[in-house]
Structure 1
């Protein structure tokens, strides 16, 4: 069974730092909302920031985590949310389910056998339901920060679509997101070798730059981005 790789402490520090990027999270929350349905499951909920926002759009929501320590923290944080179920989940697995959608942000890049992981997500979702994915884009941006947090690859639209298709999914939508974020990430982590943690740079970008980036990209999809966003369907 493939587990998420990398330093779990560093991963948690990065998650805590990026939790302050409120505008970024709200943008990416909105991307998935049309595909959630009535009973979605999130694969790799981390500290629960996305789960709390997505749960507002569904009668039931399931949050999952693979790391035992983060799972304890996730359960504690979501204990007062009666509509959110919290459980442990590792990918890949052999479980079958009837969820309306599986959504997984910035998880697939940690897993060696990503096709098998996507196949596991497909088995959790009812026919016609969606598998919604965000992953980091472009291998040239692989940095010490990626390695420290356990990334084994970064993606293009082509490579992510190929993996989803091989996993038996039908790609419905795929595009890059956050073009300026890629440039900022490359300079910060590859050139200056910084970790993407809480600080002035994250706050300035999230407050001043990201809203304009989002507005532009809602009109015209960029040819590159910090992330790849994809929606695929489970065949009926």
Structure 2
């Protein structure tokens, strides 16, 4: 089994900071919703922010976490959400059973050494013809000390993520960059000013003023770059 590397304290600080970026989260929630089906599983749910929003639209949802301490926090938070089941899961998994309509994982694959094995495990969790939905950070030039501290092994392009999906036996259905202005802001903050994307006024200003403009523009024209790569692929029939 592959482990997810990185400083847990810094990971938690970043997760808590990004939890305040409500518009950003809702945008990425919307991206996956059409592909989730009726009973999806999320790999690496963290504090459960995405899980809670997705579960509002679905009859059943399974949230998972690999880190034992964060798993306890996740279970406590989900106690008030009866439609959400919580499981511990570390990828690649050996006991995957194809019972889910989709497997979704946001900002997790970049932590896993055997990312092709992780994608195969996600595929094995899903019914034949279901979807695997991924968001990962984009472009190696943006790899910063924040990435390293939070356990990022790599960042992706459409080409490198597509190659990993193909090697895992998944059929690509959709792949594109998202949040072009976010990449510029992230690179400036982390590589030039050496700041982490934690809770604070900069995150709030970006989320309330910049993000809505970016989202509206990218609905019209897909940008040639972005802070993230979004991908949807089908499992083999």
Shorter-chain TM-score category? over 0.9
Structure 1 spans left out of the alignment, 5+ residues: none
Distance between the aligned counterparts of 1:9 and 1:69, measured in 2?
A: 11
- The answer to whether structure 1 residue 136 and structure 2 residue 128 are counterparts is no
How far did 1:96 drift? Answer: 1.9
Aligned to 1:110: 111
Distance between the aligned counterparts of 1:152 and 1:16, measured in 2?
A: 21
Distance between the aligned counterparts of 1:93 and 1:71, measured in 2?
A: 17
Aligned to 1:180: 181
Please state whether the residue corresponding to 1:57 is helix, strand or coil: coil
TM-score, scaled to structure 1 = 0.99
- The C-alpha deviation readout for 1:187-231, integer Å capped at 9, x for no partner, is 000111111101111000000000000000000000000000000
How far did 1:97 drift? Answer: 2.5
Distance between the aligned counterparts of 1:60 and 1:6, measured in 2?
A: 31
Aligned to 2:33: 33
Runs ≥4 residues deviating over 2 A: none
- The answer to whether structure 1 residue 87 and structure 2 residue 77 are counterparts is no
Aligned to 2:213: 212
- The answer to whether structure 1 residue 5 and structure 2 residue 5 are counterparts is yes
How far did 1:9 drift? Answer: 1.1
Aligned residues: 236
Distance between the aligned counterparts of 1:72 and 1:52, measured in 2?
A: 16
- The answer to whether structure 1 residue 76 and structure 2 residue 76 are counterparts is yes
Structure 2 spans left out of the alignment, 5+ residues: none
- Residues 217-236 of structure 1 aligned to structure 2 (within 5 Å): 217-236=218-237
Please state whether the residue corresponding to 1:63 is helix, strand or coil: strand
